[in-house]
């Protein structure tokens, strides 16, 4: 088992590192990492329907999409992420096995005096409240499994609650998140600062596996930066991979109040209508000009003259 600890906080490069270890690296890996504030949705989710897009942009919270399915999670520097990439030596019949990956985490937490239990969905609970959400992705061609999870130690739970609750109504075939009450480990077990907790966590895993943590080497960092640039930081992946959906909400713009109805499929706007309280269509020319175009702020700004960027955030 190779142990990797990364000291940078770029969510896209860490998601790229997961892809690198899954698709290109020959060996088992455990990576411990953190990121600046980010909302990370599952592969098959509607990013706009899961994240509060306006709140995220106003508060410089990045929106990201990962390789695995499952629900949306919030990252900040008070949350620690763990990623396992392992060969499926026991075959596909045991490919999806959360406890196989979570038992080592529970063992290390137990060594720190933190006793956890499982939820029905195999998330980790502390005093019956969720501290860790988990997801998996199987790379069948390479017979490898990716398992990653969060450990809420001292996260900003107020920002978490705001960032992952969208203000619109979204209908479609995307996989919705199952919201659960969460808590921070530090509320029950104060092991010092987040940095202090991480040091203890790293020592625990080093003792468990008999290996020392190290960062990616220079060539691997270049590869991950390239993967991040090509895929994980691109809006075509973050927004464009969302399944077909319909978005409805009331827009209270300076130009008036409108009922929005928008349909998006395969990264293209299929339908866009704004109707005021009298049933009169608004911004008809702008709406027509966007049909067939991707949902991007630059496109919206070019079409909706006189509407502020802050107001346009409600279209996501």
3-state secondary structure 60-120: CCEEEECCCCCCCEEECCCEEEEEEEEECCCCHHHCCCHHHHHHHHHHHHHHCCCCCEECC
**pLDDT at residue number 121:** 85
At 107, give phi and psi (nearest 5°): -65, -45
DSSP conformation letters of 166-192:
-SSEEEESS-------B--HHHH---S
Q: Name beta bridge partners: 247.
A: 170, 262
| pTM recorded for the entire structure | 0.93
The CA radius of gyration of the chain, in Å to the nearest whole number, is: 21
Per-residue model confidence as pLDDT tens digits over 27-59: 999 999 999 999 999 999 999 999 999 999 999
Q: How far is CA 191 from CA 16, 80, 105, 130, 284, in A?
A: 31, 14, 17, 18, 58
Per-residue model confidence as pLDDT tens digits over 177-199: 666 789 999 999 999 999 999 99
User: Is the pLDDT higher at 94 or at 100?
Assistant: 100
Per-residue model confidence as pLDDT tens digits over 267-288: 999 999 999 988 999 999 999 9
**pLDDT at residue number 179:** 67
At 22, give phi and psi (nearest 5°): -75, -45
Determine the Cα–Cα distance for residues 102 and 274; give it in Å rounded to an integer. Answer: 48
| Residue 136, H or E segment | strand 134-139
CATH homologous superfamily of 2-237 equals: Bira Bifunctional Protein; Domain 2 (3.30.930.10)
Please state, as a whole number, how many other Cβ atoms lie within 10 Å of the Cβ of residue 113. Answer: 9
How far does the chain reach from its first CA to its final CA, in angstroms? 42
**pLDDT at residue number 176:** 62
Q: So where are the chain's domains? A: 2-237, 245-315
**pLDDT at residue number 92:** 67
pLDDT at residue 95 tops 80:
no
Q: What is the mean pLDDT of the chain?
A: 93
Burial of 256 (0-12, 13-18, 19+ CB in 10 A): middle
Indicate if 245-315 has the same CATH topology as 2-237. Answer: no
- Token representation of residue 39: 């909302």
Per-residue model confidence as pLDDT tens digits over 141-190: 888 999 999 999 999 998 888 998 888 899 887 666 666 789 999 999 99
Burial of 264 (0-12, 13-18, 19+ CB in 10 A): buried
Quickly state the pLDDT bin for 80 (edges 50, 70, 90): very high
**pLDDT at residue number 148:** 94
With beta carbons less than 8 A apart as the criterion, state whether 78 and 156 touch. Answer: yes
Overall average pLDDT of the 246-258 stretch: 94
Overall average pLDDT of the 243-249 stretch: 94
Which CATH topology does 245-315 take?
Answer: Enolase-like; domain 1 (3.30.390)
Q: How many residues does the chain have?
A: 316
Determine the Cα–Cα distance for residues 166 and 53; give it in Å rounded to an integer. Answer: 7
Quickly state the pLDDT bin for 240 (edges 50, 70, 90): very high
Please state, as a whole number, how many other Cβ atoms lie within 10 Å of the Cβ of residue 1. Answer: 14
Identify which of 34, 78, 40 has the alpha carbon closest to the alpha carbon of residue 187. 78
């Amino acid at each position: 088992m190779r142990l990797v600890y990364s000291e940078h906080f770029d969510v896209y490069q860490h998601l790229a590192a997961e892809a690198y270890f899954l698709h290109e690296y020959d060996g088992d890996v455990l990576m411990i990492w953190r990121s600046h504030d980010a909302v990370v949705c599952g592969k098959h989710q509607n990013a706009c329907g899961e994240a509060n897009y306006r709140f995220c942009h106003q508060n410089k919270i990045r929106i990201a999409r990962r390789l695995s399915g499952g629900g949306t999670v919030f990252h900040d520097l008070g949350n620690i992420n763990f990623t396992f990439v392992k060969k499926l030596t026991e075959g596909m019949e045991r490919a999806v096995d959360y406890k196989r990956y979570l038992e080592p985490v529970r063992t290390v937490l137990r060594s720190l005096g933190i006793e956890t239990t499982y939820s029905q969905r195999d998330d980790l609970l502390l005093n019956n409240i969720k501290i860790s959400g988990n997801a998996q992705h199987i790379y069948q061609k390479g017979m490898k499994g990716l398992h990653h999870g969060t450990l809420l130690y001292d996260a900003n739970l107020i920002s978490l609650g705001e960032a992952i609750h969208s203000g619109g109504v979204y209908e479609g075939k995307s996989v919705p998140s199952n919201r659960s009450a969460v808590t921070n480990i530090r509320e029950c077990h104060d092991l010092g600062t987040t940095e202090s907790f991480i040091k203890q966590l790293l020592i625990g895993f080093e003792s468990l596996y008999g290996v020392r943590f190290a960062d990616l080497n220079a060539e691997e960092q270049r590869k991950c930066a390239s993967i991040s640039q090509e895929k994980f930081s691109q809006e075509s992946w973050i927004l464009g991979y969302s399944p077909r959906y319909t978005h409805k909400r009331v827009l209270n713009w300076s130009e008036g109040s409108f009922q929005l109805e928008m349909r998006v499929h395969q990264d293209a706007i299929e339908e866009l209508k704004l109707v005021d309280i009298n049933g009169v269509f608004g911004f008809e020319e702008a709406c027509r000009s966007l049909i067939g175009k991707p949902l991007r702020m630059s496109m919206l700004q070019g079409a909706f003259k006189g509407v502020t960027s802050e107001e346009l955030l409600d279209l996501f």
